[in-house]
């Protein structure tokens, strides 16, 4: 596993980008992904090419899975690890007591590579990004 990014839920992605650029001197690649399957808009910011990125997540409509989180104030939402074998990582997390929250599915922001979501016994939401499989 490799630490890939942290996810931060915001009400307005454009304002979030400006805020993070100012406060962290973060770089932005001028891309905003609108993913109808995930029902979110996302953008990635970078403070150093060697460090994990910051993913800003804005709900996309009333059916978005992050709406309730935003209603509670938003903020730090999840941590993501890149994995070579998603099924093996899911089994490993399950053996350590994590529960699958969302089964693997492709994500537009990652070129169609699959992601899955887990909740560990300590309660942080974990995203796994499968990096070795072609979309």
Each of the 135 residues of the chain gets a pLDDT tens digit; together they read 999 999 999 999 999 999 999 999 999 999 999 999 899 999 999 999 899 999 999 999 889 999 999 999 999 999 999 999 999 999 999 999 999 999 999 999 999 999 999 999 888 899 999 998 665
Residue ranges covered by each domain of the chain? 2-130
Which pLDDT score, from 0 to 100, does residue 122 have? Answer: 87
* pLDDT at 135 (0 to 100): 53
The DSSP string of the chain is -EEEEEEEE-S-HHHHHHHHHHHH--EE-S--EEETTTTEEEEEEES-TTSPEEEEEEE-STT-TTHHHHHTT-EEEEEEEEES-HHHHHHHHHHTT-EEEEEEEE-GGGTT-EEEEEE-TT--EEEEEE-SS--
pLDDT at 123 (0 to 100): 83
Q: Report the pLDDT value the prediction gives residue 134, as an integer from 0 to 100.
A: 62
What is the pTM for the complete model shown?
0.92
- Domain 2-130, CATH number (from 1.10.1060.10, 3.90.110.10, 3.10.180.10, 3.30.70.20): 3.10.180.10
Judge whether 56 and 43 are in contact, CB under 8 Å. Answer: yes
């Amino acid at each position: 596993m490799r630490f890939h990014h942290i996810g931060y839920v915001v009400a307005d992605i454009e304002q979030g980008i400006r805020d993070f650029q100012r406060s962290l001197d973060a770089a932005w690649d001028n891309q905003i992904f609108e993913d109808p399957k995930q029902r979110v808009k996302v953008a990635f910011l970078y403070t150093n090419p060697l460090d994990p990125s910051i993913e800003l997540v804005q709900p996309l409509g009333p059916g978005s899975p992050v709406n309730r989180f935003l209603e509670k104030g938003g903020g730090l939402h999840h941590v993501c690890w890149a994995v070579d074998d998603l099924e093996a990582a899911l089994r490993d997390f399950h053996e350590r007591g994590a529960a699958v929250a969302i089964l693997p599915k492709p994500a537009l922001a990652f070129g169609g590579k699959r992601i899955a979501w887990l909740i560990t016994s300590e309660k942080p939401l974990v995203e796994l990004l499968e990096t070795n499989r072609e979309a």
